[in-house]
């Protein structure tokens, strides 16, 4: 019988950490990049919109902009190759790129819209995680950390969010699988589930004017500054290799999540 390799003890590196952020052109991704640069990380910015990535980077010397469609396997491979070429390794991936998709229930959503939402939120996250794991396995010292951006919809969905909700439940499975399979290589994986931070996606949900509730009513919901979400992500990213956070939930105080509906 083939034995599984013993878990490798993570090795510490005293140099500047290298962080790859997908969906870095706006919202949570932009806030994480800017906080990471101030904190001293070397940061690789990935996303489809080059101008938005450049605006996020603000010409910072420790920032590398790599326009990337996370659904394209070749582009994802090039992303990690360029990260290694510039900075020598990858210590952390913040798997953040995502879309809410159409506000529709299961009998309404088209197959095209379903596939498009899962392609970004799930398949794109898988491809980026795979690229990060391969890189972290090869580098010396071996190992690293992946932080997946889930959602509180991974716990409790909003009405009419079937594709988004399914993708975020699946993200939890991806997180746990990576954490398990990465142990032998000193690779850890955790998930942050964020609720109602102030970003552009909140406008699409009408949170500020009246978000749809489970009983059919609409309710103005509280939000919290995106800088606080970024602070939570960086707290996970800066943990020593000997520790990890498997799941972290951060929401606006008083939002309808516990007891939603």
How far apart are the C-alpha atoms of 208 and 196, rounded to whole Å?
A: 10
Q: How far apart are CA 140 and CA 89, in angstroms?
A: 8
Q: Which of 164, 166, 175, 202 is catalytic?
A: 164
Q: How far apart are CA 170 and CA 193, in angstroms?
A: 13
> Is 257 annotated in the active site?
no
Query: Three-state SS for 101?
Result: coil
Residue 149, token pair as written in the block: 């951006």
Kindly give the pairing relationship between strand 211-212 and strand 218-219.
antiparallel
CB 44 within 8 A of CB 96: no
Q: Residue 58: CB partners within 8 Å, gap ≥ 6?
A: 34
Contact 136, 193 (CB under 8 A): no
Kind and range of the H or E run holding 219: strand 218-219
Contact 64, 56 (CB under 8 A): no
**Catalytic residue numbers, as ranges:** 164
């Amino acid at each position: 019988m083939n034995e599984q390799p013993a878990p490798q003890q993570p090795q510490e590196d005293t140099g500047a950490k290298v962080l790859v952020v997908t969906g870095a052109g706006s919202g949570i991704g932009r806030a994480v990049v800017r906080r990471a640069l101030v904190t001293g990380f070397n940061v690789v910015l990935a996303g489809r919109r080059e101008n938005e990535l450049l605006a996020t980077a603000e010409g910072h010397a420790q920032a590398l902009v790599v326009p990337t469609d996370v659904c394209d396997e070749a582009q994802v491979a090039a992303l990690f190759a360029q990260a290694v070429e510039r900075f020598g390794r990858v210590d952390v991936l913040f798997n953040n790129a995502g879309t809410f998709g159409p506000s529709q229930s299961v009998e309404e959503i088209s197959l095209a819209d379903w596939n498009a939402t899962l392609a970004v939120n799930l398949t794109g996250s898988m491809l980026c995680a795979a690229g990060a794991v391969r890189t972290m396995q090869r580098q010396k010292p071996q190992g690293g950390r992946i932080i997946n951006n889930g959602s509180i919809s991974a716990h409790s969905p909003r009405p009419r969010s079937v594709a988004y909700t399914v993708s975020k439940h699946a993200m939890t499975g991806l997180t746990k699988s990576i954490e398990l399979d990465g142990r032998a290589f000193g690779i850890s994986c955790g998930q942050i589930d964020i609720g109602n931070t102030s970003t552009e996606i909140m406008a699409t949900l009408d949170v500020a004017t009246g978000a749809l509730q489970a009983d059919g009513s609409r309710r103005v919901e509280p939000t919290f500054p995106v800088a606080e979400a970024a602070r939570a992500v960086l707290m996970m990213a800066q943990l020593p290799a000997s520790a990890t956070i498997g799941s972290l939930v951060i929401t606006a105080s008083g939002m309808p999540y516990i007891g939603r509906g």
